Amino acid sequence: MNLGVVGNPRYRDLGALLAHLAEAAPRLGIALFSEEGLLPLWPEPKPARLNAATALDCLLTLGGDGTLLRGARTLNGSNVPLLGVNLGRVGFLTTASTQNFDWALDALVRRAYATEPRLALLPSIVNKQGQARTEPLVLNDVVVHKGGVARVVRLRVAVDGDDVGQYSADGIIISTPTGSTAYSLSAGGPIVVPGVDAIVLTAICPHTLAVRPLVLPSAVTVSIEPIPPWPEEVLLSFDGQVGTTIQPGERLLVRRAERPVLLIRLGPEGFFARMRKKLQWGDLSDRERK
């Protein structure tokens, strides 16, 4: 089995976990491929570089949800499943932890797991001449937001060329069902169960009570164009990790990616169980009974 490894070096236990993985890999028949930034943390002999792998059977992410999102971006639409190991606090998207790491590796080798296909987004920016540049694959959300001063930005929104209207807000979040429990949820958007084929459009602090989140079919193309003039840069961020700016005359197009991201799930725990545990959904245990 060819196993790619992506990790967050800020977690202090990562080095020990990598050493344990390097020791277990030969016994399990695993060939390891590591991202460049982790190579100093591995014991000798170092694994091969991730970009040297001709084919991967799985990508292992060691960190939190942010590391898993970066792993999905690394795969860039390839049909390789992701196994997330949580080294942080919430880890809503991950399925394993340091406590059950050996069990997770064994299940991975035996292929005793299920995969959840997660809708991903492919954003692009189109200039005045109609030329498009493609941005990174997105698993959670694309966010259009203002920089600098505390003023709203005006945005023109269309869906499949049909004008939705003008938004005056701090920004707009275009979210997948996976990302509906992230920034979109904080901005008042709905939780969308991952199996629902939809895209969520949520305004950030809209300057009118008439604007509410929209749930759209996943087949549509969402267009967002800032309305000039604007006082500061209008920024785009992708999964909250990478970003760019949008210039006058340019517009953002967001459409469904051709392939979903495949998340590995171990054991019987489903989405609602994770929601109750990770988000304390419906938890009233801290209230005294009267």
65 is catalytic: yes
Q: Is the pLDDT of residue 151 over 80?
A: no
pLDDT of residue 162: 97
**Position 150 confidence tier, pLDDT thresholds 50, 70, 90:** low
pLDDT digits (tens, 9 = 90+) for 26-84: 999 999 999 999 999 999 999 999 988 889 999 999 999 999 999 999 998 899 999 99
Beta-bridge partner residues of 144: 172, 236
Angle between helices 101-110 and 14-28 (to 10 degrees): 30
**Confidence band for 283, pLDDT divided at 50, 70 and 90:** low
Residue 285 lies in a domain: no
Report yes or no on 288 lying in a domain: no
Do 129 and 150 reside in the same domain of the chain?
Answer: yes
**Per-residue tokens: 7:** 């990790």
Q: How many domains does the chain have?
A: 2
Q: pLDDT grade, residue 284 (50/70/90)?
A: low
d(CA 46, CA 274) in angstroms, rounded, equals 35
- Does the pLDDT of residue 290 top 60, yes or no? no
For residues 184 and 200, is the Cβ–Cβ distance under 8 A? Answer: yes
Question: Can you give the pLDDT at residue 202?
Answer: 97
Percent of the chain with pLDDT over 90: 77
The CA–CA distances, whole Å, from 276 to 180, 279, 283 equal 15, 6, 8
Which is nearest to 57 in space by CA: 36, 97, 29, 85? 29
**Same domain for 220 and 234:** yes
Residue 273, domain member (yes or no): yes
Q: Are residues 57 and 79 in the same domain?
A: yes
Higher pLDDT, 129 or 174: 174
What residues does 82 pair with on adjacent strands? 59, 263
pLDDT value of position 232: 72
The reported pTM is 0.91
- Cα end-to-end span (Å), the chain: 57
* Residue 196 three-state SS: coil
Report pLDDT digits (tens) over 217-236: 999 999 999 998 876 788 99
Is residue 288 scored above 60 in pLDDT? no
Instruction: Kindly name the residue from 13, 65, 141, 197 that is annotated as catalytic.
Output: 65
pLDDT digits over 9-21, tens only?
998 889 999 999 9
- CATH number of the domain where residue 191 is located: 2.60.200.30
Is residue 106 in some structural domain?
yes
One-letter amino acid at 61 equals T
**Over pLDDT 70: what percentage of the chain?**
96
Full domain range(s) for residue 97 = 2-119+260-279
Average pLDDT rounded to a whole number, residues 108-112: 94
What is the average pLDDT value for the chain, to the nearest integer? 91
Q: Which of 92, 96, 73, 66 is nearest to 83 (CA)?
A: 96
pLDDT at 285 over 70: no
User: Do 137 and 248 sit in the same domain of this protein?
Assistant: yes
Mean pLDDT of 164-190: 95
Banded pLDDT at 270 (limits 50, 70, 90)? confident
84 and 33, same domain (yes or no): yes
Count of CA atoms in the C-beta half-sphere (13 A) of 66 = 11
